[in-house]
């Protein structure tokens, strides 16, 4: 009897925080909602930053894109910190067991010299591209607006550091932990003509000022093309040459790409649907970076896939990109 009385008086006085109730109604909220919406401060900033006196500390005008509500960028994965690290922990557990299996069975010995050379020449240098992607996503985290998109950019940035480290481990597997493969790959990245377009492109993204433009350049344009050329087409080529075990080491990147594509597409679509002005702006950015990226990747695609791939590798990758862009409602 006493227990019944107690529970009947233990009715909550409210279901969630006021700003969450205002957005989603008076009902219990999800953890994603409470961790995300309206978390970032919006007004009454005390001091202008020494490093950017033209703007407030948090300022929506650091991009030319305009949104009436920056929290429209809902993450379809609903990642907040806790769900993010738990999802990645699951993926890293699989990756760890793949890498351990590869190591234990000495699968590196089964790779032909040709496959090894291709991995060092084409796959390992991507660690520098991933490192660039890490910085570019951190850029959006730091200068973007609204927790919904900035937290997802941070997660992406940290993913890219993780991927750079996985790619480095592939190098270490090939060189018996001497680091020689990493040195060779870095030398290629620095001096080999076939990589210079890509390096110049990465350097250009790192001096790009508009964070949303940079998001489109990196996470939509460059990542789609890299994913297609390296993790799809190169992977097929290596498999055809008896290097199928390498796929165990890139499984993380492929899984990651599926997950991240969903988020990038949602953001792109939402931004474009906001206004004609946004759509026009985005179309211009995408076209410009598509052109630069295609030019940078052309010699790599040609050398890496020209002989083996039926059809034109780069055109196919660009078609995948164009399809994603069209699906987001941008012509």
Partner 1 sequence: MAAKKLSLKDKYSLLTRDLDWEFSYQDRKAAFPFEEFEGIKITDWSKWEDPFRLTMDAYWKYQSEKEKKLYAIFDAFAQNNGQLNVSDPRYVNAIKLFLTGISPQEYQAHQGFAHIGRQYGGVGARVACQMQSLDELRHVQTQVHAMSHYNKFFDGFQNWSHMQDRVWYLSVPTSFFHDARSAGPFEFLVAIGFSFEYVLTNLLFVPFMSGAAYNGDMATVTFGFSAQSDEARHMTLGLEVIKFLLEQHEDNVPIVQKWIDKWFWRGTRLLSLVGMMMDYMLPNKVMSWKEAWEVYFEEAGGALFKDLARYGITMPKYAELIDKEKEHVSHQTWWTFYTHGHAAGFHTWIPTDEEMDWLSEKYPDTFDKYYRPRWELARKLEAEGKRFYTKALPQLCTTCQIPMLFTEMSDPTQISYRDTVYKGERYHFCSDGCCDIFKDEPEKFVQSWLPVHQIFQGNCGGPGVEQVLGEYYKMNLGADNLDIKGSPDEKRWKQWKGVA
Q: How far is the CB of 308 from partner 1 (least distance, A)?
A: 28
Rule CB under 8 A: which of 17-36 touch partner 1?
17-19, 29, 31, 34-35
Total residues at interface with partner 1 (CB under 8 A): 89
Q: Which is nearer to partner 1, 17 or 24 (CB)?
A: 17
Q: Which is nearer to partner 1, 211 or 272 (CB)?
A: 211
Contact range with partner 1 by CB under 8 A, out of 202-210, 254-262, 285-293, 319-327: 202-210
Contact 263, 84 (CB under 8 A): no
Q: Which is nearer to partner 1, 152 or 330 (CB)?
A: 152
Element at 165 (helix H, strand E): helix 147-174
The reply to whether 212 sits near partner 1 by the rule CB under 8 A is: no
Site string for partner 1, 114-153 (x = CB under 8 A): -------------xx-xx--xx--xx-xxx---x--xx--
Contact 197, 296 (CB under 8 A): yes
Q: How far is the CB of 272 from partner 1 (least distance, A)?
A: 26
User: Which tokens sit at 141?
Assistant: 């985290």
Q: How far is the CB of 251 from partner 1 (least distance, A)?
A: 13
CA 323, CA 328: separation in Å to the nearest integer?
Answer: 9
Q: How far is the CB of 102 from partner 1 (least distance, A)?
A: 11
Contact 264, 277 (CB under 8 A): no
- Please calculate the CA angle 45-25-153 and round it to the nearest 5 degrees: 50
Contact 121, 211 (CB under 8 A): no
Backbone torsion region of residue 12, taken as left when φ is above 0, otherwise alpha when ψ lies between -120 and 50, otherwise beta = beta
Q: Quick check: helix, strand or coil at residue 310? A: coil
Rule CB under 8 A: which of 44-73 touch partner 1?
44-51, 57-58
User: Which tokens sit at 26?
Assistant: 């008076």
**41, 100, 273, 326: residue in contact with partner 1 (rule CB under 8 A):** 41
**157, 223, 290, 304: residue in contact with partner 1 (rule CB under 8 A):** 157
Q: How far is the CB of 177 from partner 1 (least distance, A)?
A: 5
User: Which tokens sit at 224?
Assistant: 């789609």
- Please calculate the CA angle 250-254-255 and round it to the nearest 5 degrees: 115
Q: Which is nearer to partner 1, 12 or 307 (CB)?
A: 12
Q: Is 136 exposed, middle or buried (0-12, 13-18, 19+ CB in 10 A)?
A: buried
**64, 66, 72, 85: residue in contact with partner 1 (rule CB under 8 A):** 85
CA 197, CA 220: separation in Å to the nearest integer?
Answer: 18
Contact range with partner 1 by CB under 8 A, out of 68-76, 183-191, 285-293, 304-312: 183-191
**66, 72, 107, 172: residue in contact with partner 1 (rule CB under 8 A):** 172
Q: How far is the CB of 259 from partner 1 (least distance, A)?
A: 13
Q: Which residues contact 20 (CB under 8 A, 6 or more apart)?
A: 29, 33, 34, 37, 38
**27, 68, 89, 331: residue in contact with partner 1 (rule CB under 8 A):** 89
**1, 4, 12, 310: residue in contact with partner 1 (rule CB under 8 A):** 12
Q: Quick check: helix, strand or coil at residue 65? A: coil
Rule CB under 8 A: which of 261-320 touch partner 1?
none
Q: How far is the CB of 150 from partner 1 (least distance, A)?
A: 8
């Amino acid at each position: 009897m006493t227990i019944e009385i107690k529970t009947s008086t233990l009715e909550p006085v409210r279901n969630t925080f006021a700003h969450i109730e205002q957005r989603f109604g008076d009902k219990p909220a999800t953890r994603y909602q409470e961790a995300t919406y309206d978390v970032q401060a919006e007004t009454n900033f005390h001091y202008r930053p020494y490093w950017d006196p033209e703007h407030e500390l948090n300022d929506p005008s650091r991009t030319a894109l305009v949104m009436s509500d920056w929290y429209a960028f809902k993450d379809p994965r609903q990642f907040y910190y806790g769900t993010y690290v738990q999802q990645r922990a699951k993926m890293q557990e699989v990756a760890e067991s793949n890498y351990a299996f590869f190591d234990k069975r000495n699968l590196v010995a089964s790779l032909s010299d040709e496959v090894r050379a291709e991995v060092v020449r084409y796959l390992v240098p991507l660690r520098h591209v991933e490192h660039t992607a890490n910085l570019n996503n951190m850029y959006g985290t730091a200068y973007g607006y609204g927790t919904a998109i900035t937290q997802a950019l941070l997660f992406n940035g940290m993913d890219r550091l993780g991927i750079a480290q996985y790619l480095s481990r592939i190098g270490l597997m090939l060189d018996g932990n001497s680091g020689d493969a990493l040195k060779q790959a870095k030398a290629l990245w620095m001096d080999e003509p076939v990589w210079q377009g890509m390096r110049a492109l990465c350097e250009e993204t790192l001096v790009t000022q508009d964070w949303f433009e940079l998001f489109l350049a990196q996470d939509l344009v460059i990542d789609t093309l890299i994913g297609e050329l390296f993790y799809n087409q190169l992977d097929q080529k290596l498999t055809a040459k008896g290097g199928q075990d390498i796929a165990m080491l890139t499984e993380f990147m492929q899984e990651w790409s599926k997950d991240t594509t969903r988020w990038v597409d949602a953001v792109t679509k939402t931004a474009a649907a906001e206004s004609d002005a946004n759509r026009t702006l985005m179309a211009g950015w995408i076209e410009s970076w598509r052109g630069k990226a295609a030019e940078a990747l052309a010699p790599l695609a040609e050398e890496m896939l020209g002989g083996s791939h039926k059809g034109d590798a780069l055109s196919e990758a660009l078609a995948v990109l164009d399809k994603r862009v069209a699906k987001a409602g941008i012509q």
